[in-house]
């Protein structure tokens, strides 16, 4: 009896996603230019900057905690957590580092998973 694996979209989908992420992170995108302008105006006003940081912290924290509450339920719980970290990462270096660390861990996990599946496909007896 052979065990069948669900259809694997393969590395093509991953490469497409990586390209789309890189495209979205380009510094010359219009939205990024707009946000840099807003950030420059905020930097000129210390009180407004502090209020902005508090709003970003509360909003990002609520999104991340809400995502953690959604993790055991069917749906995009982890995605919501990562969105919350991304919001926090716009203003807090620790959140940006944490999101980059998690991104590296996920990349290593998927590489391990693909290697495991390839090994199983090459040796169906185990």
Confidence label for 34 from pLDDT (cuts 50, 70 and 90): confident
- The pLDDT mean for the chain works out to 83
Confidence label for 84 from pLDDT (cuts 50, 70 and 90): very high
- Size (the chain), residues: 126
60-80 tens-digit pLDDT: 999 999 999 998 888 888 889
Confidence label for 50 from pLDDT (cuts 50, 70 and 90): very high
Asked whether residue 4 carries a pLDDT value surpassing 70, the answer given is no
Separation between Cα atoms, residue 82 and residue 92, nearest integer Å: 14
**Confidence at residue 51, expressed as pLDDT on a 0 to 100 scale:** 92
Separation between Cα atoms, residue 86 and residue 89, nearest integer Å: 5
Instruction: Please write down the HEC assignment for all residues of 41-83.
Output: HHHCCHHHHHHHHHHHHHHHHHHHHHHHHHCCCCCCHHHHHHH
pTM above 0.75, yes or no: no
For the residues 26-34, what does the mean pLDDT come to? Answer: 82
| Residue with tokens 């693909």, as numbered in its chain | 114
3-state secondary structure of 108: helix
- CA-atom Rg of the chain in angstroms: 20
């Amino acid at each position: 009896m052979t065990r069948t694996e669900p259809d694997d979209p393969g590395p093509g989908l991953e490469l497409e996603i990586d390209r789309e992420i890189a495209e979205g992170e380009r510094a010359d995108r219009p939205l990024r230019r707009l946000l840099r302008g807003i950030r420059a105006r905020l930097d000129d006003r210390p009180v407004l900057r502090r209020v902005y940081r508090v709003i970003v912290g509360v909003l990002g924290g609520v999104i991340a905690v809400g995502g953690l509450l959604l993790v055991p339920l069917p749906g995009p719980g982890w995605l919501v957590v990562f969105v919350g970290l991304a919001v926090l990462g716009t203003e807090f270096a620790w959140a940006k580092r944490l999101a980059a660390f998690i991104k590296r861990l996920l990349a290593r996990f998927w590489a391990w998973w693909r290697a495991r599946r390839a090994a199983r496909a090459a040796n169906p007896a185990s």
